[in-house]
Every structure is written in C-alpha cells, then in structure tokens.
Structure 1
Amino acid sequence: MSRTQPPPRHPPFVPHVQCSMQPEDDSLRLESASLGESAVTADDDGVKRSHKGESCENDEEGHLVYHIGLVMNERYEVVSTLGAGAFGKVVECIDRHRDEHVAVKIVRNIDCFREVAKSEIAVLEEINSLDDDNRFACVRMLDWFEHEGHICIVFELLGLSTFEFLRRNQFLPFSVEQIRHMAFQIFRAICFLHRNKLTHTDLKPENILFVSSEYDDKMVKKCVLSVVDFGTATFDHEHHESLVSTRHYRAPEVILDLGWNQSCDVWSLGCVLMEFYLDIHSSRKEHLAMMEKVLGPIPVHLLKQTRKQHYVHNEHLNWDRQSSSDNYIRKHCKPLKKYMQRKSEEERQLFDLLSCMLEYDVSRRITLEEALWHPFFSPMRPQKHQLRYNCYCSSDIIRGG
C-alpha cells in the first residue's frame, strides 16, 4: 500500500483525540516492552494460526488478526509477537530489504487510535530530523505504512523495559551507580525534547527500554537506554489535555487540575528513579495523601488554586485520617530521606536531586537542564570533558532552530 504523508505537527497540528476509555485506565498504554522482548508469547496472544498467504481480518475490537509468516508492505515478515495493549499489538519482523529484525507496532483500526498513531508518527519524524545522528536516547522510527487499514510503525528492535527487567529479577533494585548512568541518559533525552518544545507526558519504567538486555548474575551488561512511546507527546503550542501520565507517575499539578507544562516530566522521572532505587510500587486523593506523607503538606496556595475543591477542606487535603487507606499510608510511607539505605555521599546526592525533582510547586521544581549539572552527575563529567559538555548544553541539545 502506498505510504501517505502524516499531518504536520506545528502549525497546523494534530489535536489529541479522546478515546472512549478513560485515561485513568493504565491498560490504555501499550506496554513498551513490546518494542523489545516481552513475557507475552505467540502461543497465548491470540495470533491466528494459518498458512502463509491467507487473507487478514480484524477481530471484534479492531485488532489485526495476523499469522506468523505474514508479509506486510511487501517487506516485513512477522516472526513473533512481542507485546499487546489496548491500542494495538507489537510484532517482531524480519525486514526483507535490510535483512534485519525490527519491531512493528500494529495499531487498531479504530479512528481515535489511528489519530494517536498519526500524532506519534509526526513526533517521531520530528525527533529523527532534530537528532539525525542519534545522539539522544529516543527510540528511532525506521518506517511507517498502512496494512489493511491498520497504521503500522516500524522501530529498531530493543531489549527489555526497565520495569520488565526489574520484574524478572524479583524487583532487585538497581545500584546507585547504575541509576546514575541510566538517569544521565534519560535526562539528556528528555532535556533534548524539552529544549525542542516537546513534553513526553508518560514517562515510566515501562517506557524506558534497554537497547540490549543481556545480563550476568542479575546485572545488565550495558546500561544503554532508549525512551519510547510518544503517542501522547505534546508540543508547547498544542492543546494540553487536562489528564496526562500514568497514575503512579502523575505530577500533583495534573491531579489538582492546575494546568501542566514540561515540568510534569521532571516529576515523573523523580518517581521513576525512586522505583529504580527501591521497589515502591491509589484513588487520586489517596495518591495525594501518600505524597504528603513522603514530601510534607501540599502548599496552601496550590490547594487554593485547584479546580478539584472536593480535595480540599480548611486549606488542607480533605483526607480521612481514620480510614483503612490512611492506616496503609502510615505503615508503608515515610519522609523521603528516610528511604535512604546507606547514607553514603552518593546516596545523599541522589536524594537531594530527588527532593528537587519532587517539588510540589512547579515554579520551584528543578528543570532537567539544571538537573544534569547536579553534583550527583559529577562523575559523568570528568574535567577533560567539561568543555565538550558545555557545548552540548548550549547547542547540541537543541537542533533545527
């Protein structure tokens, strides 16, 4: 099928489309491990077992019913299923033109999911053009096409998501040194997006993948990462949906409906680093109560501004201190720095950085460009590389204007 041109992002731009499912449903997200390895196998994913060449069809939910050996766009041969989610499935394919394995996201043939896919394609094309030498850790879109009414996006084949890696290791936390290397790459990638007026809006361990997930003794061999899932990425000039981010990584300004900007990515990454450090895996009001237990009271001026006034009583969070949920929070949550396990200097620096990222007030929250200069990342910047890093901060991170 001939390839059609996606609509430009700015301006005019593709508006975000509300689907019938509520954003609060985390299943709306296609698990990003699907761009690499996944626990889902071709034996239990509903793949149609048929002979090569048999015609394709849609199931009742608009997913493509495909079979191993199917060739799409006269080029991509399906060899296995990598993952599945609410808006589609991801399959591993052999690219017959390049003789290499790739991941292909097959989007459901439903209008709202097609619009999200077109939006993601436009963002990925923008990222590819701004980072043409692939210096920043954002997944590369290699191609896209339509097959039987389904938009299909071709990506480089990656390894496990950081969440899936933790899960397979019984949630054994990463070391502080590993967190430093991983965070530095992620921060550079998202800082690159922010400097180019783009917010990811859905940062979480499932959307951060290892390029290669080979490991020995439960230690990944190479902490090289890639950020994926740009389906809800939003340019600064575009309409901002009121509800973004997966619940556990959602910034307080989003929950309180105060409006949001790029700083919501910073909050999400602070939550991600905490999850890397120790296994901390909620109604939205309960989420706010947990925040208060870890970070202290929500500032009164933010509570006064919220459109969600049912969350507020007498300038405090409207929370039942006698509830079973409160008992759970008091038992399992504690002030942020009390989570520090060894109180080494590098951990002190990590928690100082986290306290700057998990700041209620957006005007006081650290930016990622500032975060990259935090003392926690000093080992990543040897003196002999300072000049090169200076150049990176001032020019390389913003491309194309």
Structure 2
Amino acid sequence: MGWKDNECTSWGDVDDQKTEVHDDRETGGSNHYKPCSSPENDNLPECAFPGDNAVNTDGNGAERSHKAKSCEVDEEEGHLVYHSGLVMKERYEVVLTLGAGAFGKVVECIDREKNEHVAVKIVRNIECFREVAKSEIAVLEEINSLDDDNRFACVRMLNWFEHEGHICIVFELLGLSTFEFLRQNEFLPFSVEQIRHMAFQIFRAVSFLHRNQLTHTDLKPENILFVCSDYDLEYNSDMRCEAKKLRSLDVKVVDFGTATFDHQHHESLVSTRHYRAPEVILDLGWNQSCDVWSLGCVLMEFYLGRTLFATHNSVEHLAMMEKVLGPIPPHLLKQTRKQHYIHNERLNWDEQSSSNDYINKHCQPLKQCMWRRNEDERQLFDLLGCMLEYDVCRRITLEEALWHPFFSPIRTQQKLRS
C-alpha cells in the first residue's frame, strides 16, 4: 500500500480517506482502502478486517466484492507471499483475499480441522506491526476469557499462530462492514429502527469493554461488521429507488489493535480523524468517553448516510463541531496545549475563509438534521446530544445510554421474551 515502515502506531484507517469516498459518491465512489494525505502530521495507517470487502455467504442477494476475486500477493515491505490453496500450519487453506491494509492482508481460509470458513489476518513481518499484533492478541484473549459464553458483540478470536515469521490471527468470518454496506447501497441511510437495533448491540459490547477497564479508541463504521450481510432488493419509497435491505442487523465490533487498558500508557493521539473526540484534538487527555463521542459520530453517519465531520484539518474539525454543536466551552479552550488553535479565548478560525463556506454548506445544527421530527427521531437526537457533549464530565456513559428512552422498545421486547 506504499506505507513507510515507521507508520505503525496502529492499523486504524488513515485519517481523512473517507472524506474522499463520500465526495466521490456521484462519480461512482472510490476505493476505501486508498490512503489520503493530511496536512496535519497525525495520519494513522489504514485498516482492513474480515468482511470489510467481502460477503461471507452466497445465495440470493449476496455478492462477492471485486476485492475478493483472487489472492493478490505483494512481496514488498514484509507482506507474506501466498496463493490460493496455500495451507498454513497444516490446517488453514487460503481461499481468497478479503482485504488489505498497512498491517498486512486478511484472507478467507478453510479450517481443515473443523471444516469451516474463517478469516485470517496475516500481519506484515515488521517488528512494530508484530508488537501491535501481540497487543491485539492479548486484548482478544482477555475478551474471550471475560465473555466465554459470547454474550457481547465483540469479534471472536479463534486461534493465532506464526507462519514464516508472520503473526496470523484467526477470526470468525463475518460479513461486510457497516461502511462498506452503506457504500454498496449508494449511501442510503439506515432507518431509525435499524439504527436502534445496531446501536443497542454496539453499546452493550463497548460498555462491556469499559466495565473491564478497556477503551477501544478506534470505533467507526469500518470497524463494525454485520455478522451476515445477505440482503434482499426492495423499493425504497423515501428515496424512490431500489435498495438493499439486510436480512439480519446483527453486528460485531472488530479491530482491537489500538485498544488500551486503563492502566496502560495512553497515546496522545487516538481514533480515526472523523470520529476523534474534541479532548483528543485539544490534547487534554482522554479516557473511555472518547469511545462515546466516536459512537455518536457513527450513529449520525448511519442516520445521514454521510460522515458528520468530513475534514482533513484539526482546526476545521473543531469549527465544524461548533457549527453542529455550538461553541466549545471556554474552560476547555483555556486548558488546551494546542494554543495555536486559540485566539482571544475563542477558536482561531477565519469565518471569511473558503473553508468556512465549505462548513456552512455541509454542516448545520444537530437538531436541524432530523428528517421527520417524530418521537423516535427526537429520542435518537436527544441521545446523540448527550453523546456529542464537549465536556467529558457531562458526556453520557454507555451504561447510562443503554437506559435512554430511545432503547425502551428493545428493553420491552426483552422483558416479553424473558
């Protein structure tokens, strides 16, 4: 993919590449693995995961992405050279390539021992990537141990091994990422009911992580995968077009390469750009609440069908936040170490600039984003307002969010079933 070997602080998506994807919608979209440079020196390497570019089943309404046609190989920069039919560890037979990223490749394999299809992440044989892989394995082993009956929607690691110097992590095979499904579905938004069903699972999973002193740090639609992304084609009366309707809305959270325990060192810069919390941008330090902000951005993307904060620049990002959410509290601006972002105790932003014109065109106050303004939408936007709170002391926790009235229909259903 052309990444320098020292760009290995994580394998989350490169900052800002998604801006390009959404901007290119009308011309057919762009490859969402394509890196996009940022003027800020805070790029994070890009990511791929089981299912990001391939559906795990065939049948009516299911399809394989063009990414999965063959096992493309790359001998450069520590990638494993492999081919369809290669058997690793005398057990895992390579079928096809699911995706690729800075960290290496993800392939679909047949587990000959269990006669089932799995996804194997093959990490580049470069020390910094090996270290991140070891960290992810430790987190996944902890998750497996704490959730041995698989109650929470976190991807299951099935095994790991080394092959010719490459760490290989075996996962259950999942479907498309929520972002890839949106892309293939012409960025038609999810319905409020669909968002409710997915959000409840995601919140439970990440709340489980938080209860066990773990922060994901890179929550985004690319890292939320459908368990199965089979679909039917139906006419969408709102958009007046034929659209894909998923048969199941079950999802799982993936990619724990940058997950951080409370007791571990906290890197100053975390999260992919568009989902990065204000306290991270302002270098105020962060905790588990940065995941809550990221999920607020994710739900808005599900609702709008586009990225909420589509930007390449930190100050512009903060200016977008102010357009959507109102002014950043002065006490946070006073505390920031990024004093060049501030002028006269306000955000250092030129409202006469062409960038400001872009913001005015693409951003509007949060409540004005509602389509129908019915009770379900009012509850969703009330919850989003609690999640997209600048001050971490006032931001809702996911444990609290699960008891928000927006999720009352799901809790009622659970009571009836029990």
* TM bracket, shorter-chain basis: 0.7 to 0.9
Structure 2 residue 360 is matched with structure 1 residue 334? no
Change (3 A) 1:335 1:115: same
Deviation at 1:34, TM superposition (A): 4.1
Instruction: Tell me the TM-score normalised to structure 2 length.
Output: 0.83
Q: 1:264 aligns with which of 283, 287, 290?
A: 290
- 1:76 corresponds to 2:92: yes
Q: Which residue does 1:63 correspond to in 2?
A: 79
Matching of residue 298 in structure 1 with residue 287 in structure 2: no
- Equivalent residue, structure 1, for 2:314: 284
The answer to whether structure 1 residue 320 and structure 2 residue 350 are counterparts is yes
Secondary structure, aligned partner of 2:160: strand
Q: Which amino acid aligns with 1:140?
A: R
Secondary structure of the structure 1 residue equivalent to 2:94: strand
CA drift of 1:73 comes to 0.7
Task: State the alpha-carbon separation in 1 of the partners of residues 391 and 7 from structure 2.
Answer: 32
2:128 to 112, 117, 137: 112
Match of 1:221 in 2: 247
**Structure 2: stretches of 5+ with no match in the other structure:** 16-34, 36-44, 56-64, 234-243
Q: 1:145 aligns with which of 161, 176, 186?
A: 161
Q: Residues of 1 paired with 2:413 and 2:158: CA distance?
A: 37
SS of the residue aligned with 2:107? strand
Contact 2:70 2:97 in 1 (8 A): no
How far apart in 2 are the matches of 1:76 and 1:214? 25
Determine if contact 1:35/1:155 at 8 Å carries over to the other structure.
no
1:1-400, aligned counterparts within 5 Å? 19-20=6-7, 25-26=14-15, 27=35, 28-32=45-49, 34=51, 37=54, 39-43=65-69, 46-47=72-73, 59-217=75-233, 218-281=244-307, 282=311, 283-382=313-412, 385=415
Question: 2:104 and 2:303 mapped to 1: Cα distance?
Answer: 32
Q: 1:108-132 CA distances to partner (integer Å, 9 max, x unpaired)?
A: 0000000000000000000000000
Residues 33 and 348 of structure 1, relative CA distance in 2, 3 Å threshold: farther
Give the direction of change, closer, same or farther, for the CA distance of 1:100–1:66 in structure 2 (3 Å limit): same
In structure 2, C-alpha distance between the alignment counterparts of 1:25 and 1:214, rounded to whole Å: 28
For 2:412 and 2:91, how far apart are their aligned partners in 1? 46
Partner Cα separation in structure 2 for residue 383 and residue 212 of structure 1 = 23
Q: Is the 8 A contact 1:251 1:268 kept in 2?
A: yes
Percent of residue pairs identical: 77
- Specify the alignment match of 1:395 in structure 2: none
TM-superposed deviation, 1:135: 0.3
Deviation at 1:322, TM superposition (A): 1.2
Q: Deviation at 1:46?
A: 3.1
Give the aligned residue type for 1:234.
T
How much does 1:386 deviate? 8.9
Q: Could you tell me how far apart the structure 2 residues matched to 1:36 and 1:124 are?
A: 22
Cα distance change of structure 1 residues 86 and 321 upon mapping to structure 2, 3 Å threshold: same
Deviation at 1:41, TM superposition (A): 2.8
**CA distance, structure 2, for counterparts of residue 59 and residue 154 of structure 1:** 22
SS in 1 for 2:361: helix
Distance 2:369 2:92 in 1: 48
| Structure 2 CA distance for partners of 1:286 and 1:22, relative to 1, 3 Å | farther
CA RMSD, 1 decimal? 1.9
* Offset at residue 37 of structure 1 (A): 1.5
Does the Cα contact within 8 Å between 1:73 and 1:147 map onto a contact in 2? Answer: yes
**Alpha-carbon distance in structure 2 between the residues aligned to 1:34 and 1:226:** 11
Q: Give the CA deviation at 1:331.
A: 1.4
CA contact (8 A) 2:121 2:169 kept: yes
Shift of 1:382: 1.3
SS at match of 2:78: coil
- How big is each residue's C-alpha offset from its partner over 1:349-370, in whole Å with a ceiling of 9 and x where there is no partner? 0000000000000000000000
Contact 1:266 1:357 in 2 (8 A): yes
Specify the code of the residue in structure 2 equivalent to 1:279. G
Distance 2:301 2:184 in 1: 15
- 1:381 and 1:162 map into 2 onto residues whose CA distance is 24
Mean Cα deviation higher: 279-288 or 377-386: 377-386
Question: Partners of 2:284 and 2:301 in 1: how far apart?
Answer: 26
User: Contact between 1:162 and 1:210, CA under 8 Å: does it hold in 2?
Assistant: yes
Distance 1:345 1:262, change over 3 A: same
Report the Cα distance in structure 2 between the residues aligned to 1:118 and 1:255, rounded to whole angstroms.
28
Alpha-carbon spacing, 1:385–1:19, altered in 2? closer, same or farther (3 Å)? farther
Contact kept, 8 Å, 1:94 with 1:100, in 2: the verdict is yes
- Any idea what the Cα deviations from partners look like across 1:171-208, whole Å, max 9, x if unmatched? 01000000000000000000000000000000000000
From the superposition, tell whether residues 29 and 256 of structure 1 become closer, same or farther in structure 2 (CA, over 3 Å): same
Name the count of aligned residue pairs: 361
Q: Secondary structure at the match of 2:77?
A: coil
CA distance in 2, matches of 1:33, 1:163: 13
Tell me: CA distance 1:85–1:181, structure 2 relative to 1, closer, same or farther (3 Å): same
CA–CA separation in structure 2 for the residues paired with 1:354 and 1:43: 39
